[in-house]
Amino acid sequence: MKITHIAVLAVASLSASVAFAQAKPEDQIKYRQSAMTINARSNGALNAMAKGDVPFNKEVAQRYATVIAELSDLPLLAGAYGPGTDRGALTKADPKVWSEPEKFKAAFDRFTVAAKALPAAAGDLATLKTALAELGKTCKGCHDNYRMNDYRM
Ligand code: HEC
């Protein structure tokens, strides 16, 4: 039973990554930027609660936290940084993403770990604040190295 379940999951994720790997470069770029946009909006909503700009609401907080957790590793799983996605007027990804892939992956993994910890932390304002601070460090840590200020032609 368990083994069947794992096999189904493995096949499903394999075919998902194959399908995504074949996506056109511009679609991969759009995909990773869209995931970032949704993460950023959700992060903003949570930060507004953390700062007290809007009242803390446990259900809303957990919903946004879950969105971030679920989306965090998709750009890597789905192959959104594939061949041909390093150039183009539409990307701000730094060439170092491709020249130092292990370091980039490590930065992504730090983000994913912080993101996956969010939903459990979002049930309480104090733990949410701590988890958001940790998450924010991983956004900045990656952007400082791997996102450029301008589009790359
Ligand atoms: C492991 C690296 C990494 C992490 C972690 C990361 N980002 Fe990004 N982010 C990027 C890269 C690379 C781009 C540029 C993508 C492109 O233009 O192709 C980007 C782009 C963006 C964009 C612009 C999207 C667009 O439409 O152009 C926003 C907003 C953003 N990130 C927010 C965040 C927030 C908020 C977090 C943390 C919750 C985060 N990012 C974490 C690497 C990262």
Q: Please determine, for residue 52, whether its predicted confidence score (pLDDT) is greater than 90.
A: yes
- Within a domain: residue 152? no
Of 1, 142, 145, 118, the C-alpha closest to 49 is: 118
Residue 82: band (very low, low, confident or very high) from pLDDT cuts 50, 70, 90: very high
| Greatest mean pLDDT range, 7-16, 82-91, 128-137 | 128-137
Q: Please determine, for residue 117, whether its predicted confidence score (pLDDT) is greater than 80.
A: yes
- Within a domain: residue 62? yes
**Residue-number span of the structural domain to which 74 is assigned:** 2-146
89-114 exposure pattern, b = at least 16 Cβ within 10 A, e = fewer: eebebbeebbeeeeebeebbebbbeb
Mutation to probe ligand 1, out of 147, 148, 149 (largest number of atoms < 8 A from CB): 147
- Within a domain: residue 7? yes
Of 24, 108, 27, 99, the C-alpha closest to 74 is: 108
CA of 142 to the centre of ligand 1 (A): 8
The count of other CB atoms within 10 Å of the CB of residue 85 is: 23
- Within a domain: residue 43? yes
Mean pLDDT of 51-55: 97
- Within a domain: residue 79? yes
DSSP state of 92: -
- Within a domain: residue 142? yes
CA of 40 to the centre of ligand 1 (A): 8
Count of domains forming the chain: 1
| Greatest mean pLDDT range, 12-16, 93-97, 148-152 | 93-97
Could you tell me what percent of the chain has a pLDDT over 90? 76
pLDDT at 120: 97
Q: Please determine, for residue 54, whether its predicted confidence score (pLDDT) is greater than 90.
A: yes
Q: Please determine, for residue 16, whether its predicted confidence score (pLDDT) is greater than 70.
A: no
Separation of alpha carbons 115 and 111, rounded Å: 6
- Within a domain: residue 151? no
Residue 98, Cα to own-chain centre: how many angstroms? 18
- Within a domain: residue 40? yes
Q: What CATH number is attached to the domain comprising 118? A: 1.20.120.10
